[in-house]
């Protein structure tokens, strides 16, 4: 089957300096794909490039067979949940979820409200429709962020650090939600994370990035990488061993 | 008097230099310890090509982390100066502590601060980039505006009434008060000068023209820049650092149309309205002086103002306030949307927005005055 996301020879960087090169991977439809790596390895930078917020230095990104879309000119082919939810602070949760529907559909107001409420129910936020983001917890913000990302029924969902900063129970609930979205709704999920428990539970495939190598150092199923990886950094990551980082070059 | 917690002795045997430390070493002793050690190391005589010494720690009863960090820092500092410093005789605890802080290893230095010339160069480049960024942003706004004309729903119109209330209605009191006070000051100063020539009757004209052509629009714009421009920069800056602006983009919403154009439209209309109010209250300020100091009647002052001010004065004053309104919103939003670096970044953007807007307002006011004087308005 044609992959929903195809990344070829991607080079990403900041201020004209490449930080990761040769990023190559495919994401199969309906799967949960994790981008792993230690703090500061460039996971979120890769994500920003995948979702079109940054321009790659070279290489290609295809979503559903189409090159990277121009943001703002057509309905987005994917949804994104940012690390802190990135909900609009002046809007209620329902208004947050309704916003993309108002922009990209001709649905009447009542229908938009019904869809927005249904999305919030899906992420277990029924009853919180009229709450402002400032009045809910971090985990709820992330779920509301997922509800907003799902508003236009995207086939592909990007999640930035979904488990970061959550207690184990809330984190587990969020993992369940990701699995539901993937298994029940058939949504492909690409997530950036370094939470091992969450990765083993939800991810079908993963790649691991490394700052020193400047590229992907492992690609496969999380359990296989844990059990069979030979790369010392990959082994250290999956077995929670301390890795020695050299001092930064002056 | 308390006994010193530690002692440092310099011993020299067969060309080997030993600095013998004894006692308790902690943060309290840090200043003295650091100074004494540096003095002792600096006083070492040259031994062959390289100076070297051993710090003997057998007599150290207790060492805290801060003292270990100082010793390791000194060792590293000396290495860079070509002086080899070794630790000896340390107990197991002290050895572990020194190892924890990296004794014997080369410690990476923070990147050196660029020199003065480099900093001047970098600051100049940043200034040029900052000056260039506003016209570029205004250009992108024109493109967004063109798209918005084709698709008016893409502008977040629902925000506009609230923005107008905050920028306009909520600012009525302060704009009115400040302009009234400016009128008072102008009236008083003007009257004192005119009195010398027996020309008090020209006070209404003086105040009226000054307020309507220059001070009303400028003072109002300055107040709006301080109140509303700063708020826009802080609001958009916070949205930027909390990834809300990125979220807008990924939802297919253009931040220019969603966030910036409603604010530009708001100030484009609210600043002239506030200016008209400011003009009226500025004239009333002058009138208060005229009536109280020179016994001018209300009608006489009003008639004097009417005779002094031509319609073109009102047109030029109010006309440029449309431009001022758009300018405040564009610069403030541009600064907000380019915020980087968390809460401190929001503070920097807000300050930068207010400073840039104030400078731009005064510069453009001068430009307008010059152009109007050239064309005889």
Model pLDDT for residues B13-29, shown as the tens digit of each residue? 777 788 899 999 888 88
Is B112's CB within 8 Å of A250's CB? yes
**Of the ranges A182-186, A240-244, B89-93, B341-345, which one carries the lowest mean pLDDT score?**
A240-244
pLDDT band at A202 (very low <50, low <70, confident <90, very high): very high
Give per-residue pLDDT as tens, B177-220.
Answer: 999 999 999 999 998 888 888 888 899 999 999 999 999 999 99
pLDDT at A247 over 50: no
B143 touches chain A (CB under 8 A): no
A65 close to B (CB below 8 A): no
Q: Report d(CA A174, CA A32) in Å as an integer.
A: 13
Cβ <8 Å between B253 and A99: yes
**Considering all CA atoms of chain B, what is the largest pairwise distance in Å, rounded to the nearest integer?**
106
Q: Is A134 on the interface with B (CB under 8 A)?
A: no
Calculate the dihedral angle through the C-alpha atoms of B369, B370, B373, B377, rounding to the nearest 10 degrees.
-40
- Contact flag A86-B251 (C-beta cutoff 8 Å): no
ipTM field: 0.85
Residue B97 CA, chain-centre distance (Å), reads 43
Going by C-alpha positions, the residue among B54, B61, B57 that lies closest to residue B5 is B61
Cβ atoms of A26 and A3 within 8 Å: the answer is yes
The percentage of chain B sitting over the pLDDT mark of 90, rounded to a whole number, equals 51
Residue B96 has pLDDT above 70, yes or no: yes
Q: What is the pLDDT of residue A171?
A: 87
Q: In the structure encoding, which two tokens stand for residue B103, read together? A: 């004794």
- Report pTM: 0.79
Dump pLDDT digits (tens) for B306-326. Answer: 999 999 999 999 999 999 999
Give the pLDDT score at A250.
38
Residues in A 231-250 with any Cβ partner in B closer than 8 A: 247-250
H or E element: which one contains A94?
helix A93-104
* Strands B16-25 and B6-13, bridge-based pairing: antiparallel
Dig out the tokens for B91 from the structure.
Answer: 């107990």
Mean pLDDT score across all residues of chain B:
89
Q: Nearest Cα to A204, choosing from A230, A224, A180?
A: A224
Interchain contact A153–B (C-beta under 8 A): no
* Most distant pair of Cα atoms in chain A: their distance: 60
Q: Can you state the angle between helices B65-80 and B30-42, rounded to 10 degrees?
A: 20
A250/B108 Cβ within 8 A: yes
CA distances (Å), A72 to each of B13, B167, B255, B279, in order?
79, 29, 9, 42
pLDDT at B352: 93
Work out the minimum CA distance from A144 to partner chain B, whole angstroms: 13
- pLDDT for B221 beyond 90: yes
To the nearest whole Å, the CA of B255 is away from the closest chain A CA by: 9
pLDDT at A248 over 50: no
Q: A51 and B252: CB-CB below 8 Å?
A: no
- Of B108, B246, B254, Cβ closest to residue A82: B246
What are residue A141's phi and psi, to 5 degrees? -60, -40
Helix H, strand E, coil C: the string for chain B is: CCCCCEEEEEEEECCEEEEEEEEEECCCCHHHHHHHHHHHHHCCCCCCCCEEEEEEEEEEEEECHHHHHHHHHHHHHHHHCCEEEEEECCCHHHHHHHHHCCCCCCCCCCCCCCCHHHHHHHHHHHHHHHHHHHHHHHHHHHHHHHHHHHCHHHCCHHHHHHHHHHHCHHHHHHHHHHHHHHHHHHHHHHHHHHHHCCCHHHHHHHHHHHHHHHHHHHHHHHHHHHHHHHHHHHHHHHHHHCCHHHHHHHCCCCHHHHHHHHHHHHHHHHHHHHHHHHHHHHHHHHHHHHHHHCCCCHHHHHHHHHHHCCHHHHHHHHHHHHHHHHHHHHHHHHHHHCCCCHHHHHHHHHHHHHHHHHHHHHHHHHHHHHHHHHCCC
Residue A83 contacts B, CB cutoff 8 Å? yes
Query: Is A80's CB within 8 Å of B247's CB?
Result: yes
Whether residue A43 lies within 8 A of chain B, CB to CB, comes out as no
């Amino acid at each position: 089957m044609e992959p929903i996301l195809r990344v070829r020879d991607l080079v990403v960087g900041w201020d004209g300096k490449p930080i990761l090169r040769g990023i190559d991977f495919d994401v199969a439809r309906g799967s949960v794909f994790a981008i792993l790596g230690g703090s500061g390895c460039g996971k979120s930078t890769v994500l920003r490039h995948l979702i079109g917020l940054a321009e790659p230095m070279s290489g290609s990104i295809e979503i559903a067979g189409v090159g990277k879309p121009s943001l703002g000119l057509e309905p987005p082919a994917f949804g994104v949940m940012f690390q802190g939810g990135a909900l609009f602070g002046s809007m209620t949760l329902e208004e947050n979820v309704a916003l993309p529907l108002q922009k990209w559909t001709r649905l009447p107001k009542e229908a938009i409200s019904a869809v927005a409420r249904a999305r919030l129910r899906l992420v277990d936020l029924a009853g919180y429709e009229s709450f402002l983001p400032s009045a809910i917890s971090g985990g709820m913000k992330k779920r509301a962020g997922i509800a907003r990302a799902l508003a236009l029924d995207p086939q592909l969902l990007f999640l930035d650090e979904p488990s970061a900063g959550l207690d184990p129970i809330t984190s587990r609930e969020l993992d369940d939600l990701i699995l539901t979205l993937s298994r029940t709704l058939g949504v492909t999920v690409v997530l950036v994370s370094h939470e091992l428990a969450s990765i083993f539970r939800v991810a079908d495939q993963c790649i691991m990035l490394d700052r020193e190598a400047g590229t992907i150092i492992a690609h496969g199923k999380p359990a296989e990488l844990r059990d069979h990886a030979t790369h010392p950094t990959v082994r250290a990551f999956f077995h929670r061993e301390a890795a020695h980082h050299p001092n930064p070059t002056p | 008097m308390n006994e010193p917690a530690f002692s440092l002795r310099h011993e020299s045997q067969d060309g080997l230099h030993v600095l013998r430390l004894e006692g308790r070493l902690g943060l309290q002793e840090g200043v003295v310890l650091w100074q004494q050690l540096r003095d002792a190391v600096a006083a070492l005589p040259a031994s062959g090509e390289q100076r070297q010494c051993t710090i003997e720690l057998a007599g150290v009863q207790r060492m805290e982390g801060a003292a270990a960090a100082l010793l390791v820092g000194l060792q590293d500092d000396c290495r860079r100066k070509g002086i080899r410093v070794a630790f000896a005789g340390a107990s197991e605890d002290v050895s572990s502590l020194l190892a924890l802080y990296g004794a014997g290893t080369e410690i990476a230095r923070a990147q050196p601060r660029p020199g003065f010339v480099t900093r001047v160069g970098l600051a100049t480049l940043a200034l040029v980039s900052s000056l260039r960024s506003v016209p570029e942003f205004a250009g992108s706004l024109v493109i967004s505006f063109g798209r918005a004309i084709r698709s008016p729903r893409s502008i977040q119109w629902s925000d506009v009434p609230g923005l107008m209330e905050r920028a306009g209605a909520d600012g009525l009191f302060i704009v009115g008060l400040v302009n009234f006070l400016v009128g008072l000051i102008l009236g008083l100063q003007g009257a004192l000068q005119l009195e010398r020539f027996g020309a008090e009757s020209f006070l209404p004209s003086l105040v009226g023209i000054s307020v309507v052509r220059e001070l009303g629009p400028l003072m109002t714009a300055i107040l709006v820049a301080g109140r509303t421009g700063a708020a826009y920069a802080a609001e958009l800056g916070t949205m930027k650092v909390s990834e809300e602006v990125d979220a807008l983009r990924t939802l297919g919403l253009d931040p220019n149309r969603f966030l910036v154009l409603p604010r530009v439209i708001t100030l484009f209309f609210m600043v002239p309205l506030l200016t008209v109010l400011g003009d009226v209250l500025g004239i009333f300020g002058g009138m208060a002086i005229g009536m109280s100091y020179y016994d001018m009647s209300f009608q006489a002052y009003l008639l004097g103002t009417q005779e002094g001010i031509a319609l073109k004065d009102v047109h030029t004053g109010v006309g440029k306030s449309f431009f001022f309104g758009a300018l405040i919103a564009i610069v403030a939003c541009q600064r907000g949307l380019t915020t980087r670096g968390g809460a401190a970044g929001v503070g920097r953007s807000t300050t930068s927005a207010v400073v840039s807007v104030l400078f731009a307002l005064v510069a453009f006011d001068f430009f307008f005055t010059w152009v109007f004087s050239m064309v005889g308005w």
